[in-house]
Copies of this chain bind each other. A is one copy, B any other.
């Protein structure tokens, strides 16, 4: 009975994702926007045909992990490192500008400083999933812009870790030790450096060893195991799982079997990636957008969303390299980062911010996620 529900739910997720994705592509938009909208429509917010279950959630999380693994496979570690300084600058401005603006607006509205700090923090998070998907679908992963954006995402995730440590410390003890922050970011950087250094040294031998196996499907299974294992270790280090999967893709991209792995991961990604974007859409509650509902603080929501989007575009100002386009980088930094909701959750638990501001952050994130795909598409069409 339970498995039948899963089967029918999955069938509905896939069919609506494909139909809406195809329809949106036909009118010049991206498939991912269609998948997000499909999620809104079949989710609890509108029709309520599919509800998030543990299995659907697990498939979705595996989906975004496979997406970043695939993006890593299609990327070049050398080029990414050469874009390193530029990417770091974009990430730093992409965090600092939204924080400053979010803090400033809340202070200007007369809110206490601690509250303003938390709202500022929720402004900073960027999620790479949506942007990476759009760039992949548009075949733009080899552009200089993509290198900067992917590099910035990795740096951004480390900065997010530091901000989380700071806001948690401030919420719990009113202060934060520099040692804690240093240890956390050191661990994260060390993981990335060590994983990639060891990885590119061991991967060729490993891939050759796998080539000697007789059983069917050895290459695809060990490749996914590598992605899943690095994702798990990244999570242990406090980083996002998708950063670990991306690193795994980067490492395997340096081996001679890169194309074989890419070819075999494609159908798996085709099945699992849409499940992720549909479930992101399912979390949207259009009812919360009703301006006439009580206690929604609609005008504040509109103001904060506008300010958040505009301030995130500030990352584009950090572009100094020739050949890197300012606007795609700026817009690529817009989509919601899940970690922003974690910051809001910490603030709520500590009693620093109220529930309506958490809902606010959620809605703002939805708007950012939905705004980015059509915007990027328009920029790349020019």
Q: A interface vs B, CB < 8 Å?
A: 3-4, 6-8, 10-11, 14-15, 17-18, 21-22, 25-26, 31, 53-55, 57-59, 61, 137, 213-218, 220-222, 224-225, 228-229, 231-232, 235-236, 241, 264-271, 274
Q: How far is the CB of A25 from chain B (nearest CB, A)?
A: 5
Residue of chain B at shortest CB distance from A269? B217
Contact A221 B274 (CB under 8 A): yes
Contact A215 B271 (CB under 8 A): no
Known: A25-B215, A218-B22, A229-B11. A267 touches B270 (CB 8 A): no
Q: Give Cα A18 to B222, complex, Å.
A: 8
Q: How far is the CB of A259 from chain B (nearest CB, A)?
A: 14
Known: A220-B271, A221-B270, A268-B268. A215 touches B18 (CB 8 A): yes
The complex is assembled from copies of this chain, and their number is 2
Q: How far is the CB of A51 from chain B (nearest CB, A)?
A: 14
Contact A224 B7 (CB under 8 A): no
Residue of chain B at shortest CB distance from A20? B215
Known: A22-B218, A55-B55. A224 touches B3 (CB 8 A): no
Contact B268 A216 (CB under 8 A): no
Q: Give Cα A224 to B215, complex, Å.
A: 24
Known: A18-B218, A214-B22, A222-B18. A232 touches B271 (CB 8 A): no
Contact A3 B61 (CB under 8 A): yes
**B-chain residues with CB within 8 Å of residue A7 when the two chains form the complex:** 228-229, 231-232, 235, 241
Residue of chain B at shortest CB distance from A7? B232
Q: How far is the CB of A10 from chain B (nearest CB, A)?
A: 6
Residue of chain B at shortest CB distance from A55? B58
Contact A14 B225 (CB under 8 A): yes
**B-chain residues with CB within 8 Å of residue A235 when the two chains form the complex:** 3-4, 7
Q: How far is the CB of A47 from chain B (nearest CB, A)?
A: 18
**B-chain residues with CB within 8 Å of residue A57 when the two chains form the complex:** 55
